[in-house]
Amino acid sequence: MPPSTTTTTNNTSTNSTTPTVPDLQPETVGPIGQFLRSLGIPYAEIVGAIITFALTLLVLYVVARVVLVPLANRMLDARGVNRDARQPLLRLLRITIGFTAVAVAFGLAGYGNFLASFATIGAAATLAIGFALKDLIANFVAGVFIYIDRPFQIGDWIEWPSSGDIPNAGIVKDISLRVTRIQTFDNELLTVPNSLLTQDVINNPVAEDELRLKCTFGIGYGDDVEKATQILYEEAERHPDILSDPAPTIRMGDEALADSSVGLVARFWIANPSRAKFLQVRSEYIKNVKQRFDDAGIEIPYPQRGLTGTIELRNQSDLEEPRP
C-alpha cells in the first residue's frame, strides 16, 4: 500500500489598504432627504442636504436683497448719511449677512458638527489676526462709530487735540471705515486714523445752525468803560452778519483788571457758520471797533514795565569819547 502523502497548502492573505471616504452623512435627515430616500435615490441623505443648503442660501439672499438692504438704506438716509459714506456700511452688512446665511444653511442641512468645528477654527484664526491687526481693527471699529454717532460730517470744520507740530484743525473731505481725510487751512491733506478722532474730544464749531463768537478788548485805566461798552454794542448791531436774537452781550473779562488794561469781552452770534464766515465777521468787527476807539480817544494799551532806581557810574572817563 503506497504511503499516503499529505499536502499542506499555505494560503497567504494580502492586506490591501483602501482609501477611506469621509463620512458626509448629515446628522439629521431633513424633509427633502426623506422624500428622496422614499423614491429610492442613491445617497438621498447627502443629496437632500446639498439641496437644503442651496435653497437656504438662495432664500436668505433674496430676503437680504429685498428686505434688509433697502431697510438699512432707509435708516441711513433718515440719519442723513450721504450716498458715498453709506457704501462701506452696506458692504459690511452684506458680509455679515453672508456669514449668517452660511451658518444657517449648514445647520438646516444637518451639518451642525461641521459648522461647530469650522467656528472653532475661525475663532482661533480671528484671535491671531486680531492681535496682528489690532490697530487696523481699532480704526475700523472707530469708523463704524463715526458713521453711527456722526460727531462730524463731510464739509465740517473740526478741531482735535494737537500732536506735536502736526496741524489739528481743518475741513473734513472724506470719511472711510479706516481713516478720515481732512484739508487744513494751509491746503494740506491730513490722513487721520479714525481711532484718533474717537479717543479724544472733537470740537465741531459748525455742528449747529448758529455759532457764538467772542472778542476780547483791553482799554486803558483812564478811559471811559461805559463809552467803550456802548461802542462794542453799536458795532455788533451794525454788522449785517451778527444776529440780533440772541442779542450781543458785553461783559467784563476773566481778567477785568489786568496789569495794564481793563478787559471787556464782546459775545455775539452768527448764523450758518463756517470757517470763512467766522474769520470774516471777527476780523471786520475788530477792525470797526478799533477805528471807533481811535476816534473816541480810547486807548488799547500794551503791556509796559516801569523801572525805578539809580545808576552809579564808577569810572565816568570810560564813557567819554576820546578827543581827536
pLDDT of residue 11: 44
CATH number for 151-198: choose from 2.60.40.420, 2.30.30.60, 1.10.3720.10, 1.10.540.10.
2.30.30.60
Mean pLDDT by 10 residues, the chain (324 residues): 45 44 55 67 70 80 80 75 66 77 72 62 63 73 82 90 84 88 92 88 91 92 92 94 93 81 93 92 95 92 73 63 62
Residues 139, 144: Cα–Cα separation, whole Å: 9
Residues 158, 115: Cα–Cα separation, whole Å: 47
Residues 152, 206: Cα–Cα separation, whole Å: 9
CATH number for 210-296: choose from 3.30.930.10, 3.30.1240.10, 3.40.50.10210, 3.30.70.100.
3.30.70.100
pLDDT of residue 304: 67
Consecutive H or E run containing 121 = helix 112-132
Enumerate residues 6+ apart whose C-beta is below 8 A from 321: none
pLDDT of residue 230: 95
pLDDT of residue 15: 46
Strand 169-175 to strand 157-159: parallel, antiparallel, or no bridges (unpaired)?
antiparallel
pLDDT of residue 229: 94
Residues 71, 65: Cα–Cα separation, whole Å: 10
Are 286 and 265 in contact, with CB atoms under 8 Å apart?
A: no
Spatial CA neighbour of 26 closest among 115, 156, 125: 115
Sorted by where each begins, the domain ranges of the chain are 31-132, 151-198, 210-296
Grouping H, G, I as helix, E, B as strand and the rest as coil, residue 33 is helix
pLDDT of residue 52: 77
Query: Which residues, listed in sequence order, are joined to residue 257 by a DSSP beta bridge?
Result: 262
- Give, in order, the Cα–Cα distances in Å from 16 to each of 13, 19: 10, 10
